[in-house]
């Protein structure tokens, strides 16, 4: 479950990003800064459960601005990256 601080941080970031009228690379840059702030705001490591819980927040379900959409996209990419099994490499003897 997302801690209250991380929940409030997620909501604040998304609300702020929704006010922006940026598009393209500028929207992506704002979303990246928001994602970095979000990732560093928690008390511990970002986990798949943390990201999934953030994606369940109402604000993350239907983002409207390009920056908010990009932020949610970064959350989705993070969840995929955290849930993929690690590949084993063959050991050379």
What number is the average pLDDT over the span 12-39? Answer: 97
State how far the Cα of 11 lies from the Cα of 90, in Å rounded to an integer. Answer: 44
Predicted local confidence at residue 90, as pLDDT: 64
Answer yes or no: is pLDDT of 77 > 80. yes
Q: Is residue 61 part of a domain?
A: yes
Total domain count for the chain? 1
Integer-rounded Cα Rg, in Å, for the chain is 15
Cα separation, 48 vs 84, in Å, equals 10
State both tokens at 88.
Answer: 């084993």
Domain that residue 32 falls in: 4-83
Residue 86: pLDDT above 70? no
Please indicate, yes or no, if residue 13 is contained in any of the structural domains. Answer: yes
Q: Region 8-13: what's the mean pLDDT?
A: 95
């Amino acid at each position: 479950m997302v801690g209250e601080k991380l929940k409030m941080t997620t909501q604040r970031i998304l609300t702020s990003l929704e006010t922006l009228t940026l598009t393209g690379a500028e929207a992506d840059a704002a979303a990246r800064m928001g994602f970095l702030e979000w990732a560093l705001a928690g008390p511990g490591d970002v986990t798949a459960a943390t990201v999934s819980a953030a994606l369940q927040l109402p604000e993350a379900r239907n983002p409207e601005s390009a920056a908010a959409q990009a932020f949610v996209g970064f959350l989705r990419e993070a969840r995929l990256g955290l849930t993929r099994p690690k590949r084993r490499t063959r050991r050379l003897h």
